[in-house]
């Protein structure tokens, strides 16, 4: 059903006044409670599939809390709905004054991935209890929970009353273009800003439950063992994927060593000496988030943990010490950044030693080929990147690392998103990875040796016809070649990136490049 049509039906149903009735609301809550009890084992399974949660943690942090919310609201709903008498101004004597609570209408709930059941159903319970119609958009990053929610809700509620709509960023954008009477969003700050901006166009009130950097303060006079126990429990529940989890500790210098000792003690006590093999220890939501957290720890002093297993998507409980206020791990919300900290249009003196040298192929008068150090400049960009350019061109002149470049490639594969953050609009990504040439331009492109079967998007070569290509590829592959040796290709349907760094000028057209990518494609794509 089209979103517009579904919302019109919800508006019509709300205007019928049926949702305002106490008995209607109570029965709706009972139906939801029935659905949760009926599918409890499926909920546990879905949470394990998406986040690796044990049955105990699933019940403690999600199922049990939802049940508790339902019980509390059922117990108090009738009292909350009663008109509340208030003082009547003398000018209105002898009348009486009351506060009467009215439902808003159509409510949009956008839920996060870190507690995909709890933070979907808790706001929904509130919306139902308040007499509203609702649209729930679960997180696409927890697909098993999202699909189960759609099934559960669909069994007990018609879509003109409560609807679940699954999908990625594009669905969220379509929903936010609609006129709702309230929006409830849980997630990162950057997306929260987008939600508020979209809501403002319709003057829609919003509730934003966002993340932050939550501190703990431990003084010398504290019970250090007890403080450490509470911090470890709060931090490593759900593998740290909790918006209100402690992020950093401000500790009295005199108590620092004791606190570290007991933090290690409780990590070992609660999670074990081998946390990655602990089946009850949850995983990261996906490999992208795994890699992002690992990257944040790269240049920090680690006194516990710091290792992980990408295959399992698990990172050992980690303690960092002497972290500087300006470091990435302190400045970035754990749920957010792209974090290309080693990418720039020039390199300061302290980074010059890390810049790889580039070579070029030259021929002598006898036709003999050899390699020599390349020291030229191109497109007004200096090869040594030693000073800021007069103009930071979007299409040339960046220096980067393989790690940083891979973050960029993954962001494009995710349709412009990184975590909960929208880095590029989906429309922009579409123009980048789809051919945009006019017929006459495409005719010229077809004559380009080595790129048969390709077109160009916005600064990207795009494969249109793999059968015409001179190298192994797939339809929709896109990427570009760097001037001094970087080569990048994304395969969106296969969810794969080929990224190569070679110390050779114009390496993209080099036969070895084609041979290397052919070997990778043969191995992984067949």
- Tens of pLDDT, residue by residue over 53-102, are 999 999 999 999 999 999 999 999 999 999 999 999 888 888 999 999 99
**H or E element that contains 49:** helix 40-51
- Name the token pair of 87: 């003082």
pLDDT at 390: 62
pLDDT of residue 113: 92
Q: Is the pLDDT of residue 401 over 90?
A: no
Cβ atoms < 10 Å from Cβ of 84:
11
DSSP type of residue 381: B
**Active-site pick, 243, 258, 333, 477:** 243
Task: Write down all domains in the chain, each with its CATH number in brackets.
Answer: 3-83+99-210 (3.40.605.10), 214-331 (3.40.309.10), 349-524 (3.40.710.10)
Residue 418: both structure tokens together = 């990184």
In whole angstroms, how far apart are CA 213 and each of 103, 347, 348, 518? Answer: 34, 31, 30, 45
CA-to-CA dists, residue 77 to 15, 101, 135, 343, 394, angstroms: 21, 12, 22, 55, 57
pLDDT at 337: 43
Cα–Cα distance measured from residue 450 to residue 200, given in angstroms and rounded to the nearest whole number? 50
Q: Indicate if the pLDDT at residue 136 is higher than 80.
A: yes
Mean pLDDT to the nearest integer, 159-168: 94
209 is catalytic: yes
Catalytic residue of the set 209, 256, 332, 360: 209
Q: Which of 237, 1, 271, 290 is nearest to 135 (CA)?
A: 1
Q: Which residue has the higher pLDDT, 510 or 32?
A: 32
pLDDT digits (tens, 9 = 90+) for 178-214: 999 999 999 888 788 889 999 999 999 999 998 778 8
């Amino acid at each position: 059903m089209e979103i517009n049509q579904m919302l019109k039906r919800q508006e019509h149903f709300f205007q019928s006044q049926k949702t305002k009735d106490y008995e209607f609301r109570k029965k709706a809550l009972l139906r939801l409670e029935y659905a949760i009890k009926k599918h409890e084992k499926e909920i546990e399974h879905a949470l394990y599939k998406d986040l690796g949660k044990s049955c105990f943690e699933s019940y403690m942090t999600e199922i049990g809390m939802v049940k508790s919310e339902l019980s509390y609201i059922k117990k108090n709903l009738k009292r909350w709905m009663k008109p509340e008498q208030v003082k009547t101004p003398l000018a209105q004597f002898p009348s009486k004054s009351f506060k009467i609570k009215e439902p808003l209408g159509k409510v949009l709930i956008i839920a996060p991935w870190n507690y995909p059941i709890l933070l979907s159903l808790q706001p929904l319970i509130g919306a139902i209890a308040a007499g509203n119609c609702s649209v729930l958009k679960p997180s696409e990053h927890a697909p098993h929970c999202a699909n189960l929610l759609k099934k559960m809700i669909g069994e007990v509620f018609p879509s003109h009353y409560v609807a679940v709509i699954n999908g990625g960023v594009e669905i969220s954008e379509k929903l936010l273009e609609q006129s709702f009477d309230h929006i409830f969003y849980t997630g990162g700050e950057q997306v929260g800003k987008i939600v508020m901006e979209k809501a403002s166009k319709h003057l829609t009130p919003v509730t934003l439950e966002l993340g932050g950097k939550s501190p703990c303060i431990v003084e010398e006079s504290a019970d250090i063992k007890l403080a450490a126990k509470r911090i470890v429990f709060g931090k490593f529940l759900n593998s740290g994927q909790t918006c209100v989890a402690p992020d950093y500790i401000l500790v009295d210098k005199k108590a620092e060593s004791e606190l570290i000792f007991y933090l290690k003690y409780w990590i070992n006590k609660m999670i074990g000496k081998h946390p990655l093999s602990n089946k009850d220890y949850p995983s990261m939501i996906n490999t992208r988030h795994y890699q992002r957290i690992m990257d944040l720890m790269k240049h920090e002093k680690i006194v516990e943990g710091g290792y992980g297993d990408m295959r399992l998507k698990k990172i050992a409980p980690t303690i960092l010490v002497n972290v500087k206020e300006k470091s990435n791990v302190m400045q970035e919300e754990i749920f957010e950044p792209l974090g290309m900290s080693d990418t720039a249009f020039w390199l300061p003196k302290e980074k010059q030693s890390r810049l790889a040298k580039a070579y070029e192929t030259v021929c002598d008068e006898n036709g003999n080929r050899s390699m020599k150090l390349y020291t030229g400049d191109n497109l007004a960009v200096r090869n040594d990147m030693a000073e800021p350019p007069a103009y930071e061109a979007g299409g040339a002149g960046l220096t980067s690392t393989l790690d940083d470049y891979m973050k960029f490639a993954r962001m494009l594969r995710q349709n412009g998103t990184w975590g909960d953050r929208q880095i590029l609009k989906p429309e922009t990504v579409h123009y980048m990875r789809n051919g945009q040439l006019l017929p006459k331009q495409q005719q010229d492109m077809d004559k380009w040796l080595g790129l048969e079967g390709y077109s160009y998007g916005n600064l990207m070569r795009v494969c249109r016809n793999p059968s015409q290509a001179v190298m192994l590829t797939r339809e929709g592959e896109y990427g570009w070649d760097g001037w001094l040796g970087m080569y990048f290709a994304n395969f969106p349907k296969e969810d794969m990136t080929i990224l190569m760094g070679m110390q050779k000028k114009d390496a993209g057209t080099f036969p070895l490049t084609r041979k290397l990518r052919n070997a990778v494609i043969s191995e992984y794509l067949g």
